[in-house]
Amino acid sequence: MHASRGIVCFAAAASACYTAVAKDNVPCADNGACPTDQMCIAGICRGSDFAPGDAPADAASPLFALGGQRWLSPCVGSAGSGSNSLCPCADSAQTQIVTLTGLSTVYQVTVHIRGVVELAPYAGGSADATTRFYTGGAVNNSFGNIYEMSVSSPMAHYFINNQGATTGGLSAIDYMAELAIAGNAVVTFTTNGQDGEEAANSTGLTVPGVTTNPQPYDGQFAQLDVISAM
């Protein structure tokens, strides 16, 4: 029986600190592929609030190509009835691996994590007191959806949907987190439904600034955006 339960991408390659707020994170090949108020920078459409001169050329590509990275856990069958309904999902780990191409320098990175995910308990690591971010450890049950990001340098792993002291279940998350990452690290994003079923998005939860297909999303999702690195 199923109980209630419940990625980031970073890089930089110079000593400069910069901040960027991406409007759409739409992949592009030239400026003609972007909305009229945006430009194509390092393969991503960026708004006028991004100053490309603040980011060195060898840092821009690995950093901003990772902006908008997502964990997706779609329903693969019909959900039951009711606001707490379940739907079938993948029952094994689904991974995406991103190899950064910046320098080996370690940077402090601020990321914005948003999504609609079920919460899960983790143990053996360190919980952030005010967000759903969890450093180290492992999931503490056999059914909660796992949303994990691992970094090769400095070696570490993180979870984004920590249940903490609250009741588990489907929740909209929207918070900032800080972590260290080298500009040439390998970053692995893992989504794992464990038991093959998950809390369905039956009430149509969405998150401001994140557009999914379909909208609302039929299942669970989370998106990471890089805000700054120094």
Domain ranges of the chain: 68-229
Rounded to whole angstroms, how far apart are CA atoms 63 and 178? 15
| Pairing of β 186-192 and β 146-152 | antiparallel
Please identify every stretch of the chain with a pLDDT value under 50, giving residue numbers as ranges.
1-24, 48-61
> Which 8-state DSSP code applies to residue 205?
-
> Which 8-state DSSP code applies to residue 2?
P
Q: Six-digit token pair at 197? A: 């079923």
Q: pLDDT digits over 200-230, tens only?
A: 999 999 999 999 999 999 999 999 998 877 7
Rounded to whole angstroms, how far apart are CA atoms 149 and 204? 26
Rounded to whole angstroms, how far apart are CA atoms 183 and 203? 40
Q: pLDDT digits over 170-200, tens only?
A: 999 999 999 999 889 999 999 999 999 999 9
Using alpha carbons, select from 180, 213, 181, 220 the residue that is nearest to residue 98.
Answer: 181
Confirm if 9 and 67 have CB atoms less than 8 A apart.
yes
